[in-house]
Chains A and B, each alone.
Chain A
Amino acid sequence: MTSSIRFAGRAGLAWRTSAVLGAGVLALAACNGDSGAAPADDEPTSEGSSSAAADNGDTGNVEIRFSWWGSDDRHTLTQEVIDLFEEKNPGITVVPDYTDWGGYWDKLATTVAGGDTPDVMTQEERYLTDYANRGVVADLAELGLDTSMVDESVLTSGTIDGKLAGVATGINAYTIVADPQMFEDAGVEMPDDETWTWDDFKQISQEISDALGDGMYGVQDYGGNEAGFNIYARQHGESLYAEDGTLGYSDATLESWWQDLVDLRESGAMPDGSRSVEIAEGGPEQSLLGTNSGAMGFWWTNQLSAISSAAGRDLVLLRPPGESEFDRTGLYYKPAMFYSVSATTEHPEESAKFVDFLINDPEAGALILSDRGLNANTEVRESVSAQLDPLEQQAAEFLADVADEIVDGPPAPPNGAADVPEITGRINEQVLFDTLSAADAAAQFTSEANAAIGQ
C-alpha cells in the first residue's frame, strides 16, 4: 500500500515536470504559428500527448488517472477505494495522482495547459465554473452517469449552462459550532437556535467574553469567509451571486454584515485584528474553540470532528443566527467537492464508470464515509450512517434536521469566482485593522468582486 502511494507521488512529480515543459512547448508552438492571432476556439489540449500517456498498458487494459487533494488519511482511504474498484473491474487500472490543497490548483491548471488533463478529477465549487466554461470537463449526464439517488438541490450546484459539469461528492453546511462547556463556565444559557437573532448572537458573545475575562472570547472572527455573508444575504432575500452570474446583494446588506463584525470586535466579544489574523491562519487546531478560549465560531459541518478533537471535548452544531428574523432562511447545503471527467479523456466510459462507483457503490461509500462531506447519494448515506462516529452522526443529523428549512441551493458561482475568497479575506483584514469602515469595505468588495467575475 505505502509503496504504491510513494511511487505515485514520484510519478506525480514527473507529470508536473512534463506538464510545465509541455506548457512551454505548447506556447512555443503557438509562437511559431501565424503572427499573433491565435485561434480562440482552438482546443487547448493536444490529444496526442494525453493518449500516449494513457495507453501504455497491455492491450485490453485501460488506464485512467484520478487526481485529488487532501491529507494523508484521505490518500490512504482513497487508495483502498481504488483497490476495490480495480478488483471489481478487471481491465481498468486507476492511477492515483494527488497533492495537498495548496498545490492542487497550480498542478491541475498546468497539466491542463500541457494537454495532460487527468481523466477523473476532483473539483471545487469556486473553480468548477472556470473549468466548465472553458470546456475542460465533460457533461456527466451525456456520459450516462446515474444520479437518480443524489439530492436534487445538490445536483443543480454542479450544473453549469445545462450541463452536469461535476457531481457532488457530499454535502456540508456552514454554521455555528458552539462549546456548551464554555457557556456553562460563563453562566450563559445556550440559545434557541431556531429563533435567535443576530442581535441575540452579538449579546450572547459579549456576555461570555465579559464573564470569562482576559483571553477568552464569545466568538471567533468569521468575516473572512464569504459563505457567512451568503447566508446573511439569503436571509434578506438576496444572495451573494444571482442566477444570471452577477452579484445578487445590495451594498447595504453587506455593510450591515461587516458592521456586526466591527461591533463584536469593539465590544471585546471577538479578538482584536492581530490575534484574529493569527488564529485564522492556524486552522481548527488553533481556533478559539480548539484552544478552549472561545465559545462559538462559524465552521463547515464536516470540521466538527477536527475541532472537537482539538478542543478535547464534544462541541455542538447550532443553526446560524437570524434564520427566522428576516424574509427567509439562509442556510444551504454546499457540495463538499465534485467529481468531474475530462472532456478530452481517451476513456470516457471507464472514467464515468469510476465516478459512478465513487458516488453510488455502497461498499465505496462505506470506505469513504464522510471524508468528502456527508454522502450526496441519500441511499448510500443511510447505509453508512451507523458506521459514522458520534460527532459525524451529529453532523449528519443536523443536516437532516435542517433539510425542510432550506429553501433552495445557491446558484453555481460565476466565472472568476475563484478570486472572491481572496478578496473577502483581504478586505476583512482591512476591516479588522480599521483601515476600512464597514461601508467602505462593502463598496470595495462589490467593485473588486465585479471586476473578478467580469461585470
Chain B
Amino acid sequence: MSVVSELSQVRKKGGKRKPSALHKGDGKAAIFFLGPWFIGLVLITAGPMVASAYLSFTDYSLLEAPNWIGLENYTRMFEDPRLINALKVTFMYVLISVPLQLAAALALALVLDRGLRGLAIYRSVYYLPSLLGGSVAIALLWRQVFGADGLVNAVLAWFGVEGQGWVSHPDYALGTLMILNIWTFGAPMIIFLAGLRQIPQMYYEAASIDGASKWRQFRSVTIPLLTPIIFFNLVLQLINAFQTFTQAYVVSGGTGGPADSTMFYTLYLYQKGFASLDMGYASAMAWLLLAIVAGMTAVNFLVSKYWVFYND
C-alpha cells in the first residue's frame, strides 16, 4: 500500500504530462500483474476460507455430503477436554518460547552489530536454523538429539548425570519443542540487525558525552528506538508460533504424545479432520484459532500504544 502511495507521489513530482494516458496503460498492466495473485487469493485462500466457514456449521465426514447442524460444532468445543488441553499446550509454548526466542535474537543481533570481521558469514550461520527449523529433517534430528541415547544425554553423561528420553517423557517433551523454536531465532535476528543499523550513531555519541554507561545507552537509546522492530517481530513470531505444526507432528510421530503433552492446537485440528473424519469440527476449530490469533494480535496493537516509540 505504502509503495503505491509513494509511487503516485513520485509521479506527481515528475510533472504533469498526460496523467490520464499513463493511468490507462497502468490499469491494464496492473491487472495483468495482479492477475496471478488474485487468482491465487480466490482459489487458494478465499475459496477454502469460505468453504471452511460453511463446513464449520455442518457435520462433514469428507466421505458424505456435509449436513447442516448449526452451532453444534462450536458448542461442542467447550466440552472437549482434549481441546482445552491443546489450547493449554499451545499457549504455554507460545508464551514461553516466543519471548525467549526474541531475547536470543536481540542478544545475537547486538553482538553481531559490533562490526565483527566476517559478519556476513556469522549472519548466515545464525540464520540457517530459521530456514531449517520448520522442516521435517530437523524435527527428526531433534528426536535423535533429545532421545534416550541422544547427544544431550551423551553430554550429560560426561558430567556424570544420567539423562533420560526427553522427547518421550510427558514432563519434558514440550520443553524440547520450545528449545527448537528458540533455536530458530535467525529471522527475527536479521530484522533486529537491520533495526540496529537504523539507529543514528549521534545518539550514542551524545549519550556517551553525557557519561552514560554501555548498559544505560542500551536501555535508554537502543531499546526505545528499537521498540517498533521488537513489536513487529513479536506480532510475527506470535502468529507463527500459534500455527506450529510440523515440529510437533514429527517429534511426536503424529500422536501429540506422550500422553497429549505435545498436542498442539493445529495437530489436534488435523487429527480431528483427517483421522476422526470430523471435518466440520476441524473447520470450526480453525475459525476459533483464527479468532484467537486475531484477538492476540489486536491486543498487541492496543498495548503497543503504551510501549512502542515511533521516532518520526
Question: Quick check: A110 and B62 within 8 Å, CB to CB?
Answer: yes
Measured CB to CB, the nearest residue on chain A to B68 is: A36
Question: Quick check: B50 and A274 within 8 Å, CB to CB?
Answer: no
Question: Quick check: B47 and A422 within 8 Å, CB to CB?
Answer: no
Minimum C-beta distance from B283 to chain A (A): 9
Cα–Cα distance between A21 and B169 once the two chains are bound (Å): 39
Minimum C-beta distance from B290 to chain A (A): 17
Question: Quick check: A136 and B63 within 8 Å, CB to CB?
Answer: yes
Q: Mark B241-262, 1 if CB is under 8 A from A, else 0.
A: 0000000000001110111100
| Chain A residues whose C-beta falls within 8 Å of the C-beta of B259 in the assembled complex | 426, 429-430, 433, 435
| Chain B residues whose C-beta falls within 8 Å of the C-beta of A106 in the assembled complex | 274
Question: Quick check: A278 and B65 within 8 Å, CB to CB?
Answer: no
* Residues 256-294 of A at the B interface (beta carbon under 8 Å): 273-278, 281
Tell me if A42 is interfacial: C-beta within 8 Å of chain B: yes
Question: Among the listed A135, A281, A418, which residue makes an inter-chain contact with B277, where contact means beta carbons less than 8 Å apart?
Answer: A418
Tell me if A400 is interfacial: C-beta within 8 Å of chain B: no
The stretch from A22-30, A142-150, A169-177, A309-317 touching chain B is A22-30
Cα–Cα distance between A452 and B48 once the two chains are bound (Å): 27
| Chain A residues whose C-beta falls within 8 Å of the C-beta of B169 in the assembled complex | 273-274, 277, 433
Question: Quick check: B276 and A27 within 8 Å, CB to CB?
Answer: no
* Residues 125-174 of B at the A interface (beta carbon under 8 Å): 147-148, 164-165, 167-170
| Chain A residues whose C-beta falls within 8 Å of the C-beta of B254 in the assembled complex | 102
Q: Mark A423-436, 1 if CB is under 8 A from B, else 0.
A: 00110011011010
With A27-B55, A28-B51, A273-B169: A105-B66 Cβ-Cβ less than 8 Å: no
Minimum C-beta distance from B162 to chain A (A): 12
Tell me if B4 is interfacial: C-beta within 8 Å of chain A: no
Total chain B interface residues with beta-carbon distance under 8 A: 38
Q: Which of A30, A37, A130 has the most CB of B within 10 A?
A: A30
With A275-B148, A425-B255: A31-B51 Cβ-Cβ less than 8 Å: yes
Question: Among the listed A27, A39, A277, which residue makes an inter-chain contact with B258, where contact means beta carbons less than 8 Å apart?
Answer: A277
Tell me if B265 is interfacial: C-beta within 8 Å of chain A: no
Tell me if B61 is interfacial: C-beta within 8 Å of chain A: yes
Tell me if A40 is interfacial: C-beta within 8 Å of chain B: yes
Question: Among the listed B64, B147, B255, B277, which residue makes an inter-chain contact with A422, where contact means beta carbons less than 8 Å apart?
Answer: B255
Minimum C-beta distance from A161 to chain B (A): 16
| Chain B residues whose C-beta falls within 8 Å of the C-beta of A105 in the assembled complex | 274-275
| Chain B residues whose C-beta falls within 8 Å of the C-beta of A273 in the assembled complex | 168-169, 258
| Chain B residues whose C-beta falls within 8 Å of the C-beta of A274 in the assembled complex | 148, 164-165, 168-169, 258
| Chain B residues whose C-beta falls within 8 Å of the C-beta of A36 in the assembled complex | 57, 68
Question: Quick check: B258 and A44 within 8 Å, CB to CB?
Answer: no
Question: Quick check: A426 and B65 within 8 Å, CB to CB?
Answer: no
Total chain A interface residues with beta-carbon distance under 8 A: 47
Cα–Cα distance between A36 and B52 once the two chains are bound (Å): 13
Question: Quick check: B68 and A109 within 8 Å, CB to CB?
Answer: no
Question: Quick check: A24 and B260 within 8 Å, CB to CB?
Answer: no
Question: Quick check: B257 and A425 within 8 Å, CB to CB?
Answer: yes
| Chain B residues whose C-beta falls within 8 Å of the C-beta of A24 in the assembled complex | 43, 47-48, 51
Minimum C-beta distance from A22 to chain B (A): 11
Q: Which of A277, A418, A425, A435 has the most CB of B within 10 A?
A: A277
Question: Quick check: B51 and A429 within 8 Å, CB to CB?
Answer: no
Question: Quick check: B63 and A278 within 8 Å, CB to CB?
Answer: no
Cα–Cα distance between A136 and B55 once the two chains are bound (Å): 20
Tell me if B300 is interfacial: C-beta within 8 Å of chain A: no
Measured CB to CB, the nearest residue on chain A to B54 is: A31
Tell me if A64 is interfacial: C-beta within 8 Å of chain B: no
Question: Quick check: B68 and A38 within 8 Å, CB to CB?
Answer: yes
Question: Quick check: A44 and B63 within 8 Å, CB to CB?
Answer: yes
Question: Quick check: B274 and A40 within 8 Å, CB to CB?
Answer: no
| Chain A residues whose C-beta falls within 8 Å of the C-beta of B277 in the assembled complex | 109, 130, 418
Measured CB to CB, the nearest residue on chain A to B67 is: A40
Minimum C-beta distance from A104 to chain B (A): 11
Question: Quick check: B168 and A281 within 8 Å, CB to CB?
Answer: yes
| Chain B residues whose C-beta falls within 8 Å of the C-beta of A37 in the assembled complex | 68
Minimum C-beta distance from B3 to chain A (A): 31
Q: 8 tightest CB-CB pairs across the interface, nearest first?
A: A27-B51, A277-B168, A278-B168, A429-B259, A36-B68, A134-B63, A274-B165, A274-B169
Supply 26 A–B pairs (Cβ within 8 Å), ascending by A.
A24-B51, A27-B51, A27-B52, A30-B66, A31-B54, A36-B68, A38-B67, A40-B64, A42-B65, A106-B274, A112-B62, A112-B63, A113-B63, A136-B63, A273-B168, A274-B148, A274-B169, A275-B148, A275-B168, A277-B165, A419-B275, A422-B275, A426-B255, A429-B259, A433-B258, A435-B259
A residues neighboring B (CB under 8 Å): 21, 23-25, 27-28, 30-31, 36-40, 42-44, 102, 105-106, 109-110, 112-113, 130-131, 134-136, 273-278, 281, 416, 418-419, 422, 425-426, 429-430, 432-433, 435, 452
Q: Add 17 more A-B contacts to A38-B65, A130-B277, A277-B257 (CB < 8 A).
A: A24-B48, A28-B51, A31-B54, A38-B68, A39-B65, A105-B274, A106-B274, A112-B63, A274-B165, A275-B165, A278-B147, A418-B276, A418-B277, A419-B276, A426-B255, A429-B257, A452-B276
